[in-house]
Chain A
Amino acid sequence: MLIRVPWRSLGVGLAAVVLTAAAPAPLLYSRHTILQGEVWRLFTCHLVHGTFNHLLWDVLPLLGVGILFERSLKDRFWTILAVSSVVVCGGLLVLQPDLPTYCGLSGVLNGLWVAGSLSAARDERSAGSLAVAALYQACVFALLGKIAFEAVTGVSLFTDPSKLDGVAVPMAHVLGALGGVLALPTRVRRAPPRASFTLPAESL
């Protein structure tokens, strides 16, 4: 079983490792400074993590999501990443004004998960692999269930808050998933192959 290397996710993960190690303060989500004009933080904060644990348990699932869905997402991976980034931070600015800081990949990871599952399910359905398509659809429902649970209870599943440098932010997961759904229709429509082709002579 050969695993296809998820280059895009790997790149994002490496960037996260480098930036977290450098701990560049000007890249974090800081409500105060974003409102003063430092809008780049809307994108960069996702690559910075509070602790090593936080980084590890964001990057490993990112690679997992990459292995599962990158093949289907192709370059839409970047669109989803960008849209989810903005939706997560923009949403936090509006909906959670009491949250002064935020960092980590978890929000956008939810976006990649939901968009990746939907996209992969569509691809598999087109290819006639209905069982695999159903598996991906189950992934979407599992994610929606997780988000709903978090939204109702305020408890972040799979997250040990003590290993974060702060508190878990379930709202970021909701927003990330929303970003993924919003970004999905931006599928690059390639021109369909021309119908004019010639059949091999022997098939005639």
Chain B
Amino acid sequence: MRRILCLLMLCFAAALPARAAGLLQPKDSALPPLQIKDHTVKVVINNGFAVTEVDQVFHNPHDQDLEAIYTFPLPKDASLSELSLWIDGVEVVGEVVEKERAREVYQEEKKAGRDAAVAEKRDYIAFDVYVSPVRAKSDTRVRLLYLQPLEIDSGVGRYVYPLEEGNVDEAAQAFWNRLPQVHGTFSFDCTLRTSYPIDEIRAKGYEDLAKVRQESADTWRVQVLSEEGTVSLEKDMVIYYRLAQDLPARVDLLSNRQGDGQGSFLMVITPGADLKTISEGVDWTFVLDISGSMQGKIAVAGDALGRSLDQLRSQDRFRIIVFADKAREITQGWTPVTPESVAEGQRAVLSLQTEGGTNLYDGFLQGLSGLEEGRTSAIILISDGGANVGPTENGAFLKLLDKKDVRVFTFVMGQGANQPLLGRLAEESNGFSMDVSNQDDLYGRIVQAKAKLAREALHGLRVEIDGVPVSELAPARLPSAYYGQQITLFGRYTKPGEATLRLRARISGAEKVWETKVRFPGQDGDYPELERLWALARIADINKQLQDGGKKSELRQAVVDLGTQYSIVTDYTSMVVVSEERFKELGIDRKNKGRVQKEREAREVRWQGQPRDPRADTTQPMFPGARAPHVGSGGGGGAGAGGPELVGLLTALYGAREYLRRRRGKQC
């Protein structure tokens, strides 16, 4: 029944346009665009997070110096932690300062003709890297590195190297030309190192070029290499790695603590697969974006929605709402599922046309109207862009959810959709949000979504840690965990020792508690990146408060403090690169340089050694005997056994046999 969502995902995502990330050149320049000479990507996925290093060489074939702007689509939850520029052949690592200050410094350097670069975060959409000058007839090399935590969903890890930019507004589209072609070498080298065995790896996006191989028991590699200058950076690279099918439900813990100071930790809880299936009737409201950005996709969207209606059960009801400049319902209120109503709904969605802007608020408002008490309600919200008509603030949307008993499931299509808002709506309503890249292996995403919607979920999650002082947990409020999802928690701790870890959750209204012991080490320098990842998670929490209308100046300052202390590019901080001398003259502390050095050394040590086993509950499993959910897991012999009914039947059979035998005995 819940294939509806999956089919929608399939068809919508298939229709998303591909827009390449690349080098941009002002249109008013008479010169042709700069060239991407080489594009080298090195990714290391090691125990729950990925380190992505992008090295680019730009070539300016013209007789005059130019400024280059490189736009990099912002990967989800990514922390840009290094931006390096080669000045006089020497690598200079950037430092994070307040956004305005970074701009001033960059403009000053640009005006003076000195080498400089600045990386800014553009909302939830992209990092913009400005480089000046790219010298006439010469190359400029820029390197950036970002960290991002990766989650395993139903036993499958997913890494996306985003190259398809979305949600570039029309003015920008008109003003800039883009050039995604790599004229020299394109190389992508991803190494996966994990102590949990990997069954298989699948690379999507550049299948014709990708080579996947297992190098050792714990190391896999995906490589794409093209030296012919023919690769066009128009598609995301998506890598899936499927863990072995029979891994236990577990608690993983990575930590970083050096000296007697505060340590940071990353805890990943993988609950067991023993969640019951649900079968009651549901009121489904489909809220579909038909704004201008859906041009070219609407026919596919209509087809997807139509086929989804085919999957509804007779006890379900549905409504279909579409929105552009304003929302309207194309059904007549709650519609019982009959062959006729489904056929009518299908006809209606197949005739949809795109129009106007994106009034997501009105669409959501209409979707929430008319919900009936006593019925299980769900809203499926599908959008490929950011709201640009009507209220667009998070707070306004969240107010609509007040006192509404409805689960919102959002499907965020492509890089340009407003993931923070759509994710927040899902989180607030205890639903879930799913990102879909154009290059996603949609069948896999469908399988994952279907498994989640078909089963009970863990709501009202709380993690308690006793025995070791922990603080500043992030996220402050854990979202519901659906089948296959992991619970990820960052935090700080001040003293080492053994802690009692308790997980509390509501499953179908019943409170459930799991408990185990975990050890927080006194010294651990293997993962210094955890400090930044923790800070990034804290910033994400603060950003939520900001978007909900919290005290702007205080929260903004908190983001700036975290951003500058942990060298993270945020909405209010940017990373600037100037020469070493200029850093000194400008009085910019080289904090990030030291941090980068430490992180590089740790990565080198990790690279040389075996991947560490992150499991923290081996001696006292938190979920005794339970196995981790796994995509396609069809285990369970499904017993012709299977219940007290059969045991009763066998008992009756035994009784009947004995009765017949005794009767025969008497007759004899």
Contacts and interface: CB of A to CB of B under 8 A. Distances in A.
Given A52-B625, A67-B650, A173-B640, 9 more contacts: A32-B245, A57-B643, A57-B646, A68-B657, A104-B639, A105-B639, A159-B638, A164-B639, A169-B636
Interface residues of B, number: 45
20 contacts: A23-B625, A30-B246, A50-B273, A50-B636, A57-B644, A68-B653, A100-B245, A102-B634, A102-B636, A104-B637, A107-B637, A129-B661, A146-B640, A158-B641, A164-B637, A165-B627, A165-B635, A166-B273, A167-B633, A169-B637
B546 to A, nearest CB: 41
A183 to B, nearest CB: 17
Interface stretch (A75-83, A131-139, A185-193, A194-202): A131-139
B396 interface: no
Nearest to B625: A23
A65 B650 contact: yes
Contacts of B640: 61, 106-107, 109-110, 113, 143, 146-147, 156-159, 173, 176
Chain A interface, >50% SS class: helix
Contacts of B199: 32
Contacts of A132: 657, 660-661, 664
B660 A135 contact: yes
B634 A100 contact: yes
B244 interface: yes
Contacts of A143: 640
A158 to B, nearest CB: 4
Nearest to A99: B634
B217 interface: no
Contacts of B276: 162-163
B314 interface: no
Interface in B28-55: none
Interface string A124-160: 0000010110010001000100110000000011111
B638 A68 contact: no
Shortest Cβ-Cβ A-B pairs, 8 listed: A104-B637, A168-B638, A164-B636, A64-B650, A162-B276, A159-B642, A106-B639, A166-B635
Contact of B627 (A50, A102, A167): A50
B627 A109 contact: no
Nearest to A54: B636
B272 to A, nearest CB: 8
Given A102-B637, A157-B640, A172-B637, A64 B244 contact: no
Contacts of A54: 636-637, 639
A183 B637 CA distance: 20
Contacts of B247: 25
Nearest to B650: A64
Contacts of B627: 23, 50, 165
B661 to A, nearest CB: 6
A101 B634 contact: yes
Contacts of A168: 636, 638-639, 642
A5 interface: no
Nearest to A66: B650
B526 to A, nearest CB: 27
A18 B647 CA distance: 22
A167 B653 contact: no
